[in-house]
Amino acid sequence: MTWIKLQFIVSLIAVVNVVHAAEPSLARPSPAQYAWHEQERIMFVCIGVATWMGTEYDEHGNYDLTKLNPTGLDADEICQAAELWGAREILFVAAHVGGFCWWPTDTTPYNVTKIPWKNGKGNLVKEMAVACRRRGLAIGLYLYPDDPRFAAKAIGRGGKTDDPAKQEEWNQLYRRQWEETLTLCGSDLVREIWFDGSCQIPMRDIFNRLAPNAVILQSPAATIRWVGNEAGIAHDPNWNTLKRSALESGGATQDQSAPDGDAWAPVECDTPLYDHNWFWNAGNERKRKSLAQLLNLYVQSVGRGSVLLLNSTPNTDGHIPEGDRARYRELGEALERNFGHPLAVATNVSSREVELDLGGAKQLNCADLWEDYRLGHRIRAYVVEGRADGVWVKLAQGTAVGRRKLDLFAPVTADRVRVRVTQSVEVPVIRRFAVHHVDAALNEANVPPLGQGCQTKASTVHSAPYEARFLIDGDPKTRWGSRDADPDPWVEIDFGRARKFAHASASELADRVRKFRIEYRLKESEPWRTAYEGTRIGNDWSADFSRVTAQHIRLHILQYIGPSPTLWEFQLRDRPEAWENAADWQGGGEIAVDLSAAVNEAAQYEVRFVGVDGKPVAVDRATLLFEGQTAAANFLSGVGSDTLKLNRTQAVGDGASTSLRVTLRTGKDAKGAVQVRPGIGP
């Protein structure tokens, strides 16, 4: 037996032993929940009477069915579209609002036998099931629980009839619809049951008998949860657990999550391809989400431990539009490009720390962490660190992991990366830990705001639910509020180390702020300086400004109306393209400038000298110094032009310094500013 085989067997035994030793108090997924969650990506299929009406709902259930003839409708084509972006399940809307059924049934005359398609002999439920089985896909079913024959407003009633005397009649008809469709598909193929708006009609016995391997959304029998929005975005942290009483209410969403909940019910993030329409019409095609939007949704759903449910909607000819197919193809290729080829990876490690050797210095900007969630949520807090020039620096941190957690961060060059679980229940099993270098645009869109998770303090706090930390927690539902009539309200953030920022955004509960200032300083002993000064904030304020480097930041409210200012969010971000005023200069011989504050990380930088008119000045001679010692010539280029390129590869920490001695092509009385930004081009 080879050493590699022996090592694999020992590792496997260790993992199995840990599974058997799982903490009994932790909620854990059932086999059905686990199989569903492992699919990661699911494709919704919405086609119905609303497609021909050009609307989102067939509210009255009396449309002229002779107009429905999707001659090109092909279940295999739909499955192929799902495969383009890696979906492993088709969630088919077999009956939507209005009650039209895509299979032959005597539960309603409003069904597929009354349309010209296939001369009334079609059965799309059966065809979808056959195609899914042939192509190795699972199937899920959606049957709307209301019917216009039993409720005048047959939307959102959960199956409740207007006339209580007719409730049992509708209960039996609706139960038969589920029995018919589940039988058509086969109990081994059905992986998901979808109720839209919950369902009060008793169904559990049917699902136990005909869909024992399926998860259920939105009913008292629910085993998975709706995220709570149709944007396709889960909040971070995203716990798969909650209290059983909340789950059995039938309407639980991600908002009820609790890390120590006694019920396991993972979150599904549904979103339409057309923003925001679920059914096709020619105009809706113009609302097709961009590739960038879809990639961001993937990070914010799958990358936060959820399942992504992305819609598709065939047109009146029955075809998925070619533009939609192209977008699915682009998405599949982009996911493979960004996440299919990790720089390094480790799997199945029972430990609180895993370290990756990248085989040399490589640039990375994404950590990809999975835990063996069959054991429940063992990981409660973690930190990801990279070794750059021999120094370990924090790249990301978080709490909930579950199936998968993607953490994106500013690009860093490192030769080793590690994840340390800092809080856990028992020893966690890290199922997979990998690092990637993802597309720059995807990275920039998903790097958390700089202040998130940092220490805060405030001039005053209105009351306990409105503490300073809620201003920067990334949750739009929490907020900070000062004490009424606070004469000088402010919130201060400590980054923990020097960071760069050049963009801010904020939102307040009520339009009260009339003047504010964003202030910064590197050390607490220094006076506050102004990065930006503005007037009103209101519901949605943001601004760009010159880049600054600071450890301490303060949002300072200078004037306001009403009892007290109260703000939902305050976020700071960097703009790599923005120049930072790092020092002043004045002509006359050789000039020495200290760039230590601006060059505070190992990276490439651009440096320029600008006059008072803002125009760059050419540099005739330049010498670069690290820690007061002349750096090798290959660390500085661009002499003779108006932009120097500086490459700081040495570690930056206490006592580190970066400076320049230059001679400028200008007169002795000239003066201006030295500006720095990260290298953004070759």
Q: Kindly report the CATH number assigned to the domain that includes residue 482.
A: 2.60.120.260
Last residue of a domain, one of 299, 334, 369: 334
Same domain, 442 and 475: no
Alpha helices of 415-531 — where are they, by DSSP H? 440-446
Residue 15: what pLDDT? 45
Do 62 and 210 belong to one domain?
A: yes
**What pLDDT does 3 receive?**
38
User: Within 13 Å and on the Cβ side, how many CA atoms surround 494?
Assistant: 7
Tally of CA atoms within 13 A in the half-sphere of 624 that contains its CB: 23
The closest alpha carbon to 368, from 342, 390, 348, 391, belongs to: 342
Task: With respect to residue 6, please indicate whether it lies within any of the assigned structural domains.
Answer: no
Length of the chain, in residues: 682
121 and 157 within one domain = yes
Give the SS3 label for residue 448: coil
Q: For position 639, what pLDDT does the model report?
A: 92
Beta strands across the sheet bearing 629-630: 591-594, 658-664, 619-626, 629-630
Single out the residue in 446, 466, 494 at which a domain terminates. 446
Residues 6 or more apart from 415 whose CB is under 8 A from it? 357, 358, 359, 360, 361, 362, 387, 388
Look up residue 139 and give its DSSP letter: E
Mark whether 166 and 225 lie in a shared domain: yes
Looking at the structure, tell me whether residues 272 and 145 fall in a common domain: yes
Same domain, 248 and 381: no
Q: Distances in Å between the alpha carbon of 338 and those of 28, 298, 402, 437?
A: 30, 11, 21, 7
Q: What is the CATH number of the domain that holds 600?
A: 2.60.120
362 domain residue, yes or no: yes
Alpha-carbon distance values, 519 to 319, 502, 522, 526, 549 (Å): 56, 12, 11, 12, 11
C-alpha of 183 from chain center: 37
- Whether residue 12 is contained in a domain is answered as no
Count of other CB atoms within 10 angstroms of residue 366: 28
User: Is residue 403 in some structural domain?
Assistant: yes
Which residue segment(s) compose the domain that 592 sits in?
580-678
Instruction: Let me know whether 374 and 514 are in one domain.
Output: no
Structure tokens at 221: 């029998």
Q: Are residues 106 and 181 in the same domain?
A: yes
In a domain, 181, yes or no: yes
Burial zone of 669 (CB within 10 Å; 0-12 exposed, 13-18 middle, 19+ buried): exposed
CATH number of the domain within which 263 lies = 3.20.20.80
Same domain assignment for residues 103 and 212: yes
Nearest residue to 28 (alpha-carbon basis) of 372, 274, 314, 454: 372
Distance CA 538, CA 506 (A): 8
Into how many domains does the chain fold? 4
The residues pairing with 647 across neighbouring beta strands, listed in sequence order, are 604
Q: Distance between CA atoms of 548 and 517, rounded to whole angstroms?
A: 14
* Domain end (from 525, 553, 573): 573
Q: Could you tell me if residue 8 is inside a domain?
A: no
Quick one: 226 and 254 in the same domain?
yes
Identify whether 24 is part of a domain. no
**Same domain membership, residue 565 and residue 428:** no
| CA distance linking residue 130 with residue 75, whole number of Å | 8
Beta-strand ranges (E) seen in 70-185 are: 89-95, 138-143
- In the chain the first and final C-alpha atoms are separated, in Å, by 51
The owner of tokens 């003066």 is 671
Question: Using DSSP, how many helices (H) and how many strands (E) does the chain show?
Answer: 11, 33
DSSP bridge partners of 381: 423
pLDDT at 680: 60
Task: State how far Cα 319 lies from the chain centre.
Answer: 30
Using DSSP, state whether 254 is helix, strand or coil: helix
Beta bridge partners of 609: 617, 674
* 474 and 618 inside one domain: no
Angle of helix 322-339 relative to helix 291-301, nearest 10 degrees?
A: 50
In a domain, 553, yes or no: yes
Q: Which portions of the chain are predicted below pLDDT 70?
A: 1-24, 651, 680-682
- The full DSSP string for 384-451 is EEEEETTEEEEEEEES--TT-EEEEEEEEEEEEEEEEEEEESSS-EEEEEEEE---HHHHHHHSPPTT
Write down the pTM of the prediction.
0.76
- Encoding tokens for residue 604? 């490439």
Q: Residue 242's closest CA among 264, 223, 224, 221?
A: 264
Cα separation of 402 and 377, whole Å?
6
Beta-carbon contacts of 283 under 8 Å, excluding residues fewer than 6 positions away, are none
